[in-house]
Amino acid sequence: METDGFVRKRRMTAETAGGDAGVAGASAGAEVRWLGGRFWGVSESIVSSLTPRIGGESQLQSVDVVCAAQDAQAEDSEPDYEGLPQGASTSTHMLAGAVAGIMEHCLMFPIDCVKTRMQSLQPDPAARYKNVMDALRRIVATEGVWRPLRGLNATAIGAGPAHALYFASYEKLKKTLSDTIHPGANSHLANGAAGCVATLLHDAAMNPAEVVKQRMQMFKSPYQGVLDCVRAVWQREGPAAFYRSYTTQLTMNVPFQVLHFMTYEYLQELLNPHRLYNPSSHMVSGALAGAIAAAATTPLDVCKTLLNTQESHTLSSAGQSQGAHRHVSGLVHAFRTVYRLGGLQGFFKGAQARVIYQMPSTAISWSVYEFFKYGLTKRQHNNMRIQHIKAEV
């Protein structure tokens, strides 16, 4: 449900290549305000869905009956939010996953912008940074306060459906495979396999948004906005450019997600063995799982960034600005280019920024996901209990 304040479409301010930083700031600011309106509308609908609907006298009497029953039963148990009622579980996982994905990417977007720039193999002299804080300080000082958020709306549009598919497929497959491999108990093999399949669906939905986002994050990005970037890439490089890094993304994300999910589930067994809703355990497990997986897959992330951005400086240095190989294509080609220009150290460019980005990012993602899953499940549990008590009365 959208509020009246965001019915009118905003025209984004254009930014020319290497142009005025204030113009770039206005463009990114418009993106943030647009995204804020969208997120506010989604939040209102979620809050209203979590709020019990009390429609009349009979409903109020039912609630009174529930309260009396709760007082009479001392051992009233907490709802098992890991075992959702059949028929509602998929929609619950999708809604919780979509909100978690949007919040994760939006809150950590400035660090993601720094990571993309620090992974550049041949950066402009004005875009050489010592560390994450130095990069953020210089970007804001020279390009405007909104510059680290440019491309945020493309990420939010992609993250919603991508994470909805991601969490829903993971939860469904995890339960199905666990029941087959190790009935009645948690199976790390099932967690890893479910993570692989979830990654296939997530990356298929997210890859075009990643291409647009990273091209707009680069220093002196020539694109005026998201639509201008999409149009320019489509006309110059064809639709295949939006999936040029898909195989590399999968090659990176499959081991990343296997490590991520297996570490998260293992830590949950240690910190939260009864699998109750425990925000601190979800945050700690998510942060550590994200850090380990991010550090291990940094070389592949550097190759993915090169395939997505197709930096002109890098292509010129590698002698690929003319002729048949005008673009870096494929994982092997990307590996050769990274090694030729940066050596072994080139594969770990931006590693610090990647780990700093992934730790809070995965902590936010799991915390928000588990919170909404718990809230939605508790509401379903209470509704079922009311219906059961009404039937008995």
Q: Is the pLDDT confidence value at 88 over 50? A: no
Reported as half-sphere exposure (CB side, CA atoms, 13 A), residue 5 has a value of 9
When computed from its CA atoms, the radius of gyration of the chain, rounded to whole angstroms, is 24
Q: Closest Cα to residue 367, out of 25, 152, 136, 107?
A: 107
Q: pLDDT: is 316 or 219 the higher one?
A: 219
pLDDT in tens, 330-346: 888 888 888 988 899 98
Q: Is the pLDDT confidence value at 206 over 80? A: yes
pLDDT in tens, 348-374: 998 999 999 999 999 998 888 888 888
Widest Cα–Cα separation across the chain: 81
The residue-averaged pLDDT of 206-234 equals 92
How far is it, in rounded angstroms, from Cα 192 to Cα 257?
A: 7
Q: What is the pLDDT of residue 1?
A: 41
DSSP 56: S
Q: What is the DSSP track for 249-277?
A: HHHHHHHHHHHHHHHHHHHHHHH-TT---
Identify the sign of the CA torsion 134, 298, 331, 113.
negative
How far is it, in rounded angstroms, from Cα 59 to Cα 212?
A: 50
How far is it, in rounded angstroms, from Cα 76 to Cα 63?
A: 16
Domain positions in the chain: 244-392
How far is it, in rounded angstroms, from Cα 146 to Cα 148?
A: 6
The residue-averaged pLDDT of 262-276 equals 89
The residue-averaged pLDDT of 153-180 equals 90
How far is it, in rounded angstroms, from Cα 119 to Cα 349?
A: 5
Q: What is the model's pTM? A: 0.66
